[in-house]
Structure 1
Amino acid sequence: MKVLPRQRKAVLINSVLGVAVLAGAGGAYSAVTSHSDSSARADARTVTVAKGTVLATVSGSGSLSSPSDAGVNFTTGGKLTQVNVKPGDKVSRGQLLGKVDATAAKETLAQDEASLTAAQANLTKVQEGQPSTSTGSGSGSGGSSSRGSANTAPTPTPSPTVDPAQLAQAEAQLTQAQNAVDAAQRAVDGTTLRAPVAGTVASVSAKTGDTVSGTGGNSTAGGSGGGSASGSNSGSTSSGSSSALSGFVVLTNPSGMQVTANFSEADALKLKPGQAATVTLNAESGTVLNAKVLSVSSLPVSSGSGSGGGGGGGNSSGSAVQYAATLTITSPTSNLRTGLSASIQVVTGEASGALSVPTAAVSGTGANRTVTVVNDDGTTQRTPVTVGLEGDSADQILSGLSEGAKVQLASVSASGNGGFPSGAFPGGLGGGAGRTRGGGAGGAGGGFRTGGGGGGRG
């Protein structure tokens, strides 16, 4: 037997294998194509047009916070003489939390009060002035004379002479002294710390005998720890989580609990104050709270790059701008804690008692929407419809359909993909069509492409 050269033998084997692969692919194509029409009819699903509620929602994520949470400190610093609370204690508004040594503050107050008394006395002296020494002459020019009369004219009472410059100076000294007394009194009051709000003591940063700093009467959000937060008579400060609050005492209070959540720029444009929402705690997926939108920020909170595209398509970089919205929780909040993370879903549209069909039954965009109506005899007809609210999974139908009618849902194999399931050559990576909130996940890949196609209706 004649032996073929190794190179010619390899070429012959590769040629035979290539023919076999092409024959197999052709057979697969013929099998799929010949079956496409019957499978489209078999896979066609129908739904009945009915009345119900159509909801459109947007989603965001955030964490719980309470506007009643507060980090508080003494207005006047000094050595702690009393610490009246410990972590875990529940306190009422105005309850005593602690005291610092007030000796120096009281001495300053006494000195300033003495200066005020002296300033008041000085002002009184200046206001009295010096009495006048002038008297009447007993005769007048060209007038009648009282000479020889038995009665004499009365001596006028001297009027005080007030120096305007001295008066202004005395009044200014009095005002200055009064201001000093007021400041000294606030310093004395600031040696006693009381709860500005009711709540639970989360932390106490010092003990009796320690020295703490004071705020000098200035209220600062957050503080710097160990004695720099809000003064004893100042209001509460909120920061979104208890870990961001600091002070001699940190108080938490679930009353009036709120959640601040971030939403994509497209979803944020749909938000309005008063819209209903649900809040699901990430740590307790079974806990769903009711809420409503309070406000929506007009400034972005973050930006960066993100990836999108559907099916087998690649990633695309773009801006990921988000806007914050604040919602108040209307469900009971007694068991909630500041800082818990949550997922938020806001209802941006609702149509009750509306004719509706699943989103998958509607084709087209804008005013050019159609559905496939299935007649009693099994035949189908494309029918124009007017769509109202586009919900998350269903669309409101304003005209073109009646209750009880049957419509066809879109079928994957009957969606114009050239007879290939999922619109791709067998073994390819085509994607499926769909509509997602916020845009994104994609359309059908086609032909021999290995990547998926366009975005869904979003």
Structure 2
Amino acid sequence: MKVLPRRRRAVLINSVLGVVVLAGAGGAYAAVHDDGGGSSAAVGARVATVTRTTVLATVSGSGSLASPSDAGVDFTTGGTLTQVNVKPGDKVKKGQVLARVDPTDANATLQQDEASLTAAEANLTKVEEGELPASSGNSGSSGAGGGTGAVAPTPTPTPTPTVDPAQLAQAQAQLTQAQNAVDAARRAVDGCVLKAPVAGTVASVAAEAGDTVTGTNGNGSGASGGSGSSSSGAASTTSSGTAPTGFVVLTNPAGMQVKADFSESDALKIKAGQAATVTLNAEPGTVLNAKVLSISSLPVSSGSSSGGSGSGSGSAVQYAATLGITSDTSDLRTGLSASIQVTTAQAADALSVPTAAVSGTGAARTVLVVGKDGSTTRTSVTVGVEGDSADQITAGLTEGQQVQIPQVASAGNGGFPSGAFPGGIGTGGIGTGGSRFGGTSGGFRTGGLGGGGGRG
């Protein structure tokens, strides 16, 4: 029998021992982490107690505050400013006069249009009372045989008024046109006075007395036009994240709202009426209560976000929700950025465990119940509300039981708790200086089983 050289024999023995050690370590690891019932609790694993609490599920978004009562108002009739009655910071009431422009041109136009209306009314009356020329009657004739008897008088025909349908239609159209012109001229006169459409605080005033302004009808003289604008001027309200503009801008925190963007998956969970909290980014300690008013069925257009980063970026699809602030809004300002949390599900006084303790998906949910002797038993449970940090347990557990929270292996330890291969190859691992299988010797490279390792 051929005897192997001493060096090759030592290498072969080391190889066999390495394989045996690895196999034993793997078996020990599997035994410790066996999911079957009756296994012992993992060393160092966290344990939680089944308790009763309120389980909340929320989704987050971001946006900015805006009030539907904010308004920017403009003159409907342009001209030279004769009065500016307010300045920034003033409190005004609805209907209060804010400013005036010179009404001279507007009044002159109104007088001309009223004269045209009077003429149109007279013309229509003439057409309605029109008549054709009367026909002449026949002269009397002598009696038969040239007698000298009395001759019967011939009656004079009564003229019958005749109305020309074409003339009537034309006169009626002229009257309608003249009336519309008068209505527009009266609105132009009213538009020389700017009134507050809502109560609020004056945020800005664009000009002062003596300046010239252009009305929303586009005519600096305000002589004609008008599109139904009231004497309070043309008012434009604000949308979330957009400040109103106008000759005078009014702000009012009453009815303050916030429009927030949510990721597509979160948006599907949001419904009108759900409770929410709003945290001001400028004042992290200020938390306001709110309620969802609506959720848009259309995605937010690229670049038209309400100011927050939402739950995603780039090409991620987001949907905007509008929420009404239910807390006191008297000190709030339009445009403040905020973070929003909407409560999408809630379970009060519910049995719960930390979310990390629950394994599986759908109906196949389990937890590791820790016994008094420290052993663990995998138990099926039914999950209700899946909260942010805890899950509601509706079946499978009782209050006071303990469950194990599995340890999550970090990316830097090879997937094993404590960073070492389970079963106990100690410090130094297999070989020193990067020992590995293979090599020219046909076995472990120099170093063999690392020194100082030992079994765990």
- Same-fold call, TM cutoff 0.5: yes
Aligned-residue offset at 1:420: 4.0
- Equivalent-residue separation in structure 2 for 1:239 and 1:46 (angstroms): 50
Comparing 256-265 with 126-135, greater Cα deviation is found at: 126-135
Aligned-residue offset at 1:413: 6.6
Aligned-residue offset at 1:332: 1.0
Partner of 2:290: 291
Contact 1:132 1:159 (C-alpha < 8 Å) held by counterparts: no
- Equivalent-residue separation in structure 2 for 1:326 and 1:42 (angstroms): 50
Partner of 1:340: 336
Partner of 2:325: 329
Q: 1:95 to 1:358 in 2, by over 3 A?
A: same
AA aligned to 1:295 is: S
Alignment of 1:46-85 (within 5 A): 46-85=47-86
- Equivalent-residue separation in structure 2 for 1:321 and 1:45 (angstroms): 38
- Equivalent-residue separation in structure 2 for 1:396 and 1:423 (angstroms): 35
**What CA RMSD, in Å, does the superposition of the two structures yield over aligned residues?**
3.7
| Partner-residue secondary structure (3-state), 2:240 | coil
Aligned-residue offset at 1:301: 2.0
AA aligned to 2:204 is: S
- From 396, 404, 427, give the equivalent of 1:408: 404
Q: C-alpha offsets along residues 167-217 of structure 1, whole Å, 9 cap, x if unaligned?
A: 111111111111110111111111110011111100001000000111018
- Equivalent-residue separation in structure 2 for 1:318 and 1:137 (angstroms): 99
- Equivalent-residue separation in structure 2 for 1:91 and 1:412 (angstroms): 62
Q: 1:79 to 1:235 in 2, by over 3 A?
A: closer
Aligned-residue offset at 1:45: 2.7
- Equivalent-residue separation in structure 1 for 2:372 and 2:252 (angstroms): 63
AA aligned to 2:186 is: Q
- Equivalent-residue separation in structure 2 for 1:189 and 1:279 (angstroms): 43
Query: TM-score, normalising length from structure 1?
Result: 0.72
Contact 2:41 2:375 (C-alpha < 8 Å) held by counterparts: no
- Equivalent-residue separation in structure 1 for 2:346 and 2:120 (angstroms): 72
- Equivalent-residue separation in structure 2 for 1:217 and 1:423 (angstroms): 80
- Equivalent-residue separation in structure 1 for 2:245 and 2:267 (angstroms): 32
* Aligned: 1:353 with 2:352: no
| Partner-residue secondary structure (3-state), 1:43 | coil
| Partner-residue secondary structure (3-state), 2:245 | coil
Aligned-residue offset at 1:377: 2.9
- Equivalent-residue separation in structure 1 for 2:415 and 2:98 (angstroms): 77
The number of equivalent residue pairs is 366
Gaps of 5+ in 1: 1-25, 140-147, 219-228, 305-316, 428-458
- Equivalent-residue separation in structure 2 for 1:260 and 1:163 (angstroms): 63
- From 375, 381, 388, give the equivalent of 2:377: 381
Q: C-alpha offsets along residues 35-85 of structure 1, whole Å, 9 cap, x if unaligned?
A: x97997442332221222110000011100011111111000000000010
- Equivalent-residue separation in structure 1 for 2:48 and 2:96 (angstroms): 64
- Equivalent-residue separation in structure 1 for 2:410 and 2:290 (angstroms): 43
Aligned-residue offset at 1:321: 2.2
Contact 1:205 1:248 (C-alpha < 8 Å) held by counterparts: yes
Alignment of 1:303-452 (within 5 A): 319-412=315-408, 419-421=416-418
Alignment of 1:29-108 (within 5 A): 41-108=42-109
Q: 1:418 to 1:289 in 2, by over 3 A?
A: closer
Contact 1:230 1:236 (C-alpha < 8 Å) held by counterparts: no
Q: 1:241 to 1:59 in 2, by over 3 A?
A: closer
Aligned-residue offset at 1:251: 0.8
AA aligned to 2:362 is: G
- Equivalent-residue separation in structure 2 for 1:259 and 1:397 (angstroms): 34
- Equivalent-residue separation in structure 2 for 1:181 and 1:423 (angstroms): 93
Q: 1:154 to 1:277 in 2, by over 3 A?
A: farther
- Equivalent-residue separation in structure 2 for 1:261 and 1:422 (angstroms): 43
Identity fraction in percent = 70
| Partner-residue secondary structure (3-state), 1:256 | coil
Aligned-residue offset at 1:297: 1.7
Q: C-alpha offsets along residues 121-151 of structure 1, whole Å, 9 cap, x if unaligned?
A: 1111111112663599999xxxxxxxx99x9
Contact 1:263 1:325 (C-alpha < 8 Å) held by counterparts: yes
Q: 1:255 to 1:154 in 2, by over 3 A?
A: farther
Contact 2:253 2:330 (C-alpha < 8 Å) held by counterparts: yes
Aligned-residue offset at 1:391: 0.4
Aligned-residue offset at 1:405: 1.7
Aligned-residue offset at 1:255: 0.7
Q: C-alpha offsets along residues 373-409 of structure 1, whole Å, 9 cap, x if unaligned?
A: 1122332211011111110000111211122222122
| Partner-residue secondary structure (3-state), 1:109 | helix
| Partner-residue secondary structure (3-state), 1:72 | strand
* Aligned: 1:180 with 2:181: yes
Q: 1:413 to 1:344 in 2, by over 3 A?
A: closer
Aligned-residue offset at 1:152: 8.8
Aligned-residue offset at 1:268: 1.1
Aligned-residue offset at 1:155: 6.3
- Equivalent-residue separation in structure 1 for 2:169 and 2:262 (angstroms): 62
- Equivalent-residue separation in structure 1 for 2:383 and 2:182 (angstroms): 73
Choose 1 or 2 for highest CA Rg.
Answer: 2
Q: 1:205 to 1:105 in 2, by over 3 A?
A: same
AA aligned to 1:401 is: L
Partner of 1:110: 111
Partner of 1:280: 279
Partner of 2:232: 232
AA aligned to 1:117 is: T
AA aligned to 1:370 is: T
- Equivalent-residue separation in structure 1 for 2:390 and 2:195 (angstroms): 56
Q: C-alpha offsets along residues 292-336 of structure 1, whole Å, 9 cap, x if unaligned?
A: 1111122222569xxxxxxxxxxxx98422221111101111110
Q: 1:424 to 1:200 in 2, by over 3 A?
A: farther
Of structures 1 and 2, the one scoring higher in RCO (CA 8 A, sep 6+) is: 2
Q: C-alpha offsets along residues 262-289 of structure 1, whole Å, 9 cap, x if unaligned?
A: 1112111111111110000011111110
AA aligned to 2:335 is: G
Contact 1:71 1:230 (C-alpha < 8 Å) held by counterparts: no
Contact 1:254 1:334 (C-alpha < 8 Å) held by counterparts: yes
Aligned-residue offset at 1:358: 0.7
Alignment of 1:235-246 (within 5 A): 235-241=235-241, 244-246=243-245
